[in-house]
Amino acid sequence: SSSDEQYERDNDDPTAHAIEECIEYIKTMLSTMDGGRLSVSPYDTAWVALIKDLVEKDVPRFPSSLDWIQQHQLPDGSWGDEHFFCAYDRLINTLACVVALRSWNVHADKSEKGIRYIRENVCKLEDANADHMPCGFEVVFPALLQKARNLGIEDLPYDAPIVRDVYNARDRKIKRIPMEELHNKETTLLYSLEGLENLEWEKLLKLQATDGSFLSSPSSTAFAFMQTKDENCLKFIENTVQKFDGGAPHSFPMDLLTRLWAVDRLQRLGISRFFDSEISDILSYIYRHWNADKGIFSRSDQEIVDIDDTAMGFRLLRLHGYDIDPKVFMNFKNDDEKKFFCWGGEMIESPTPIYNLYRASQVRFPGEKILEQAENFAYDFLQDRVAKNQLLDKWFISKHLPDEIKIVLEMPWYASLPRVVTRYYLHQYGGGDDVWIGKVLYRMQEINNEVYMELARLDFNRCQAQHQIDWLYMQEHPRDITRGPAVS
């Protein structure tokens, strides 16, 4: 608006200057997103570090990954997210890094410290919340323990009761895996190949993504390369390590997810109007990759789809005038026609994908039965979770998530006012404190950062101040307000 422009031009005002700086920072970030700015995963970096050079077998192919590991050990001897403690995350990251260091017999002091940490903290798995267990933990943790045992690392708690429980969970999961399906079509199991046995690589290599990865996972792809020496696997790993200065994220790229959630956060924080051209470019990118028959996944050019990304994409595209058919949600509906799921074979239902389905179902036109069914299911599911106080999520950790869900259930989209939504969301948005769950905990800068929060606060307070001025003027000059041309 013209008042926005006037405000931003007023360089004598420190608030205006701060707003301008935030806007420039965010504009640069949005226009250079690429595959997403993801935090590095020590676990995946350790798997990359295990790869041997093809010529000199007794040296690592990626020494920069070993360097990353030795530079990022935390003071207590662990590896993992420094600012949020999750026993699963710390233990799997630390075990992987210890295995990598021991495999190359380097930094003995750091591996000893890591072993001591695992020994002293493995008992914390007993009290860890299963909702926050990383993807595939019960499969890949035992595989890493076996690697450690093969390396002759004797001081690890291989037979602790909680470790035996993990082994039992692994056995139960392995029995349920349809091996025929695993080898013949893209499933989420491609994400954790390093935890599986008896794999038929000739068949699996046909399921590689176009960039050479297995479901965008550096660890799964590194394991595949160790087994097959496939050049496309190696290219993916080389590109990833180069982008992340020796490290590797839990998944890359995540080009669709980072773009969608960035736009969603900017809109709900009430600051999207500063980035109209960037958002237009982002949604054009999403639409180019939209599969009208199946939906989308966190990255483009992937056969697998999920309801979370599809619901967010559907909602944002429709709100911005794109012609999007809701039949896409038929892919996520059970045969009984009442229940929706995130993706096929899902074991634990989680609130956030259904929450995003609920939000998507509200931007419907009359007669769109599938969206009516989606809304009914999602509303009942979320109300049930609220009543039971079961709002911990397996993809996303935020202390404000329960409040966010409760308010959306109480205040339907058609009855909400943008500035009121912003007022609530300023309290619910966790900024840099929010954490995501993959194989490890991770963070996404384009979605959760303090600059979004800073700009939103400055802008909201500025708007409130202007409203106060207008309100005072209206009280002091009521005749000016009522005087005006007659309406015919």
Q: Is the CB of residue 250 less than 8 Å from the CB of residue 191?
A: no
Q: Does domain 42-244 have CATH number 1.50.10.160?
A: yes
Angle at 144 between CA 174 and CA 234, to 5 degrees: 95
Q: Which residues, listed in sequence order, are joined to residue 52 by a DSSP beta bridge?
A: 60
pLDDT at 488: 47
d(C-alpha 446, C-alpha 462), whole Å = 24
Tell me the per-residue pLDDT of 131-153, one tens digit each, with 9 for 90 and over. Answer: 999 999 999 999 999 999 999 99
What residues pair up with 397 in beta bridges, in sequence order?
435
334-362 as b/e: b if 16+ CB within 10 A = eeeeeebbbbeeeeeebbbbbbbbbbbbb
User: In this structure, what token pair is assigned to residue 76?
Assistant: 């207590």
Is residue 121 a contact partner of residue 91, using CB atoms and an 8 Å limit?
yes
Q: Whose structure tokens read 């949604």? A: 283
Burial class from Cβ neighbours inside 10 Å (0-12, 13-18, 19+) for residue 427 reads exposed
Going by the DSSP 8-state scheme, the letter that residue 89 receives in this structure is H
Q: Which residue has the higher pLDDT, 415 or 212?
A: 212
Cα four-point dihedral sign 298, 301, 305, 307: positive
pLDDT (0 to 100) of residue 207: 95
Contact 382, 409 (CB under 8 A): yes
Q: Is 198 helix (H, G, I), strand (E, B) or coil?
A: coil
Alpha-carbon torsion 348, 353, 359, 361, what sign? negative
pLDDT tens digit sequence for 8-45:
455 568 899 999 999 999 999 999 999 999 999 999 99
Burial class (CB in 10 A: 0-12, 13-18, 19+), 252: buried
Of the candidates 199, 116, 97, 197, the one whose C-alpha atom is nearest the C-alpha of residue 157 is 116
Summarize the confidence of residues 282-309 as an average pLDDT.
Answer: 95
Please state, in angstroms and rounded to a whole number, the distance separating the CA atoms of residues 136 and 297: 18
Name the CATH superfamily for 14-32+254-465. Terpene synthase, N-terminal domain (1.50.10.130)
pLDDT tens sequence across 81-136: 999 999 999 999 999 999 999 999 999 999 999 999 999 999 999 999 989 999 99
Domains 14-32+254-465 and 42-244 share a fold: yes
Q: Which of 284, 309, 285, 281 is nearest to 296 (CA)?
A: 309
For 307, the enclosing helix (H) or strand (E) is: helix 307-319
pLDDT in the model for residue 4: 54
Can the peptide bond before residue 161 be classed as cis, meaning omega within 30 degrees of 0? no
Q: State how far the Cα of 41 lies from the Cα of 121, in Å rounded to an integer.
A: 20
Query: What pLDDT is recorded for position 433?
Result: 94
Residue bearing tokens 């993992």: 80
Per domain, the residue ranges of the chain are 14-32+254-465, 42-244
Rg (CA), the chain: 25
Report d(CA 197, CA 179) in Å as an integer.
Answer: 10
pLDDT, tens digit (0-9, with 9 covering 90-100), for 370-399: 999 999 999 999 999 999 999 999 999 999
pLDDT of residue 177: 81
Phi, psi at 379, each rounded to 5°: -60, -50
Q: What is the mean pLDDT of the chain?
A: 93
In angstroms, rounded to a whole number, what is the distance separating the alpha carbons of residues 206 and 236?
15
Of residues 332, 337, 335, the one with CA closest to residue 349: 332
Pick the range with the lowest mean pLDDT from 167-181, 361-375, 414-428.
167-181
Mean pLDDT highest for which of 270-284, 336-350, 455-469? 270-284
pLDDT at residue 345 in the model? 57
Categorise residue 215: left if φ over 0, alpha if ψ from -120 to 50, beta otherwise. Answer: left
- Exposure of 263 by Cβ count < 10 A (0-12 exposed, 13-18 middle, 19+ buried)? buried
0.75 surpassed by pTM: yes
CA 21 to chain centre: 27
- Distance, in Å, from the CA atom of 213 to the CA atom of 302, rounded to the nearest integer, reads 11
What's the pLDDT at 371? 97
342 pLDDT higher than 90 = no
Find the mean pLDDT for residues 433-444.
97
Q: Per-residue pLDDT tens for 471-484?
A: 888 888 877 665 55
